[in-house]
Amino acid sequence: MEQPRNMLQKKQSWRNTVEAFIPKFLLICALLSVFTTVGIILTLLFETAGFFEKVPFLDYITGTTWTALFSGDQQKFGVLPLISGTLLVTVGAAVVAVPIGLGSAIYLSEYAPERVRQIIKPILEILAGIPTIVYGFFAITLVTPFLRSFIPQLNFFNALSASIVVGIMIIPMIASLSEDAMRSVPKNIREAAYGLGATKLEVVLKIVVPAALSGIVSSFVLALSRAIGETMIVTIAAGSNPTFTFDPTSTIQTMTGFMVQAAMGDITYESLSYKAIYAVGMTLFLFTFVMNMLAQYISRRFKEEY
C-alpha cells in the first residue's frame, strides 16, 4: 500500500509570516484614507476654533464686509461677500454647463453613431484633463476681452468670465457622468417605446432621461461641488475684491480666491488673518461635503432597479 502523503506538513515559516504580514500592511495603507479625512477635519477644526475665539460666529456668518488681510481695526470678517462671490460663479457655471453637458450626454448616449462617439469621447477626456491654470489663462486672455467687446462696462476682473470658464471646465464631468447613467438604461425599455411609434426625441425625453434622472441629477450636484471648490480660474479671472453683490459684471472674490491670496501674502502663523484661511476652508469644506453627500444620496436613494 502506498503511503498517503501528508497534508499536515508545515509550509516554510517565512511564507506563513508573509501571508500573515501582508493583510496588515495593506490595511494600514487603506486606513491612510481615513487618517487623511481625520487630518483634514482636525486641521480645519483646530485653527477655526482659534478663529472663533476672536471673531463672533454670528458676525462671521452675517457680516457683509470681508477685509481679513487689512491690519488692525480695519479687519472685518463677514464671510457673506465670499459666499456670494462663490455662489455667483457657481450659478453662472451651472447655467453654462447643465444644458450643454446634458445635451452632449444625450447626443453621445442616444444619437451619436459609434464612430463619432469614439472620436468625441477622448476629446472630452482631454478637456477634462486640462489643468485649471490653463482655463484661467484662457479666461483672461480670450473670454474676458471677448465679453468686453459686447459689454463695455464689464470690469477686467469679473464674475461673468470666470463663471463661463468654470462652466466649460465642468461640462465634461456632467457629460460623461450623465451619459453613463443614460447608457445604463436597458435597451428593452427603449425598444418598448420605439415599438409604440415614438420618435427618438420622445424616447429620450419620456423614457431615458426620467429613468436615468437620479444619475443625471447627481452628476449636476457633483459638478457644482467641483465648481464651488475651483480655485485657479476664479483667482485669475474674478479678481480679489470681496463684494457682497449678485452682479456678474463686478469684480468679486470667492472663498478659494481668498485662501490663495492669503497664502501668498506675508502673514504670520499666529495672526488672525492666517486663522481666517482655516475658517474659510472649513466653510468651503462643509459646502462641498454636503453636496457630495447629497449626490451620493440621490444616486443611491433614487437608483432605478432594472
Cβ neighbours for 176, distance < 8 A, ≥ 6 positions apart = 105, 121, 124, 125, 128
Please state the separation of Cα 273 from the chain's center in Å. Answer: 26
> Considering only 57-65, 72-80, 140-148, 245-253, which stretch makes contact with other proteins by CB under 8 A?
140-148
Virtual torsion, Cα 205, 206, 210, 211, nearest 10 deg: -110
Q: Is 207 in the site for other proteins (CB under 8 A)?
A: no
Query: Count of CB atoms within 10 A of residue 14's CB?
Result: 8
269 contacts other proteins (rule: CB under 8 A)? yes
Considering only 53, 56, 70, 125, the residue that binds other proteins (CB under 8 A) is 125
Beta bridge partners of 249: none
Which residues ranging from 223 to 242 are in contact with other proteins (CB under 8 A)?
A: 225-226, 228-232, 235-236
Residue of the chain from 50, 52, 137, 304 that contacts other proteins (CB under 8 A): 137
- Shortest CB 279 distance to other proteins, Å: 11
Instruction: Tell me: does residue 122 bind other proteins (CB under 8 A).
Output: yes
Q: Does 170 bind other proteins (CB under 8 A)?
A: no
Residue 193 engages other proteins in binding (rule: CB under 8 A) = no
| Number of shown-chain residues binding other proteins (CB under 8 A) | 98
**Interface positions, 44-103, toward other proteins (CB under 8 A):** 44, 47, 99-103
Query: Is 301 an interacting residue with respect to other proteins (CB under 8 A)?
Result: no
Give, as ranges, the residues between 94 and 113 that touch other proteins (CB under 8 A).
99-104, 106-108, 111-112
Q: CB of residue 74 vs other proteins: minimum separation in angstroms?
A: 25
Query: Least separation, in Å, of the C-beta of 246 and other proteins?
Result: 23
Question: Does the footprint of other proteins cover residue 260 (CB under 8 A)?
Answer: yes
Contact with other proteins (CB under 8 A) among 113, 131, 152, 195: 131
Q: Rounded to the nearest 5°, which phi and psi values hold at 77?
A: -120, 55
